Homo-oligomer: A and B are copies of this chain.
Amino acid sequence: MVESVFMAELSWPEWKAKIEAGGIIFIPLGATEQHGPHLPLNVDVILPTAVCEAVARNVGGLVAPTLSYGYKSMPRSGGGQNFPATTSLDANTLSLMIRDIIRDMGAHGARRFVLINGHFENAWPAVEGLDLALRELRRDGITDVIAMRLEYWDFVKQETLERIFPNGFPGTELEHASLIETSLMLLLRPDLVDESKIPQEGRASFPPYDIIPAPPGYLRQSGVLADARGSRAEIGKWLMDDHVSMITEAVRKEFGL
């Protein structure tokens, strides 16, 4: 059997041995969501899984199976649920799923978890699922679980952003299917990127509120919120290096490695 950081590829005695040695479980939180005409639906699956894989390798942890379906896409951060193919879960469903997974692994001895989110809208259902899991584990007499939860894109150096966006980084939310995600995909899965279909519309602009249903012209027709032109694998590399090194450092610090 191959040596693997993916727990799915281990046998149960191998998993047990890793956990008994203090192994950290990394859970990538993904989504099946439109990412414009040039990117596949699994961008939010591939990216956090790749981050988890690299960090787990650094710290001797294990990557749990990625949650491939996430919380509903919002218009201002992901284009919204009206886009064909975006397939999402109700908040309660996702929270229960995260609760069940952590509760079960906790019952089997896992004590250290890192939830790495790759889909903005997952953040709060994940917070809730984690809270429900730890509450139930405490009732089951398991009181020593420690969990981290993070969005991988928050782990980037200021100078990297400045190198990528010399005119100033306009913020994370509109980066859906844009320069950052496209560059990361060019790095990790160039076979799934069709650069010839990158929209030429430029950045979307949203008012600071949700409006439901979205009025005409509110949504970008392409599903891309900012601008993916100029994406390069090298940019993806800069980002990925930051994500992995900074998250590794944070994990080491919090778990005393």
Contact in complex: B12, A38 (CB < 8 Å): no
Q: Is A131 an interface residue (CB 8 A)?
A: yes
Contact assessment for B92 and A95 in the assembled complex, using a CB-CB cutoff below 8 Å: yes
* A12 adjacent to B223 (CB under 8 Å): yes
Residues of B within 8 A of A93 (CB): 93, 96-97, 99-100
- Decide yes or no whether A72 CB sits under 8 A from chain B: yes
Which chain B residue shows the least CB distance to A38? B11
- Bound Cα distance from A124 to B207, whole angstroms: 18
Contact B101 A90 (CB under 8 A): no
Interfacial chain B residues near A38, Cβ < 8 Å: 1, 11
Tell me, in angstroms, the Cα distance from A72 to B129 when the chains sit together.
12
Nearest to A254 among chain B residues (CB) is B211
Taking CB atoms and an 8 Å cut-off, the chain A residues in 70-97 that contact chain B are 71-72, 74, 81, 83-93, 95-97
Shortest beta-carbon distance from A177 to chain B in Å: 10
A252 at the interface (CB under 8 A from B): no
A223 surroundings in chain B (CB, below 8 A) = 12
Distance A108 CA – B80 CA, assembled complex (angstroms): 12
Residue-wise, chain A 25-39 has the 8 Å CB interface mask toward B (1 for contact) of 000000010111111
Whether B34 pairs with A8 at a CB distance below 8 angstroms is no
Between-chain CB contacts (< 8 Å), 8 pairs: A2-B192, A9-B40, A9-B192, A12-B84, A42-B65, A65-B68, A66-B68, A89-B96
Are B254 and A134 neighbours in the complex by a CB distance under 8 Å?
no
Contact B90 A128 (CB under 8 A): yes
Residues of the B chain whose Cβ atoms lie less than 8 Å from the Cβ of A86: 12, 104, 108
The reply to whether B104 and A87 contact each other, CB–CB distance below 8 Å, is yes
A194 at the interface (CB under 8 A from B): yes
Chain B residue with minimal CB distance to A30?
Answer: B65
Q: Which of A34, A91, A109 counts the most B-chain CB atoms under 10 A from its CB?
A: A91
Query: Given that A101-B69, A148-B209 are known contacts, is A85 also in contact with B7, CB under 8 Å in the complex?
Result: yes
Any chain B CB within 8 A of the CB of A54?
no
What 0/1 pattern do residues 105 to 125 of A give for CB contact below 8 A with B? 101110000000000010111
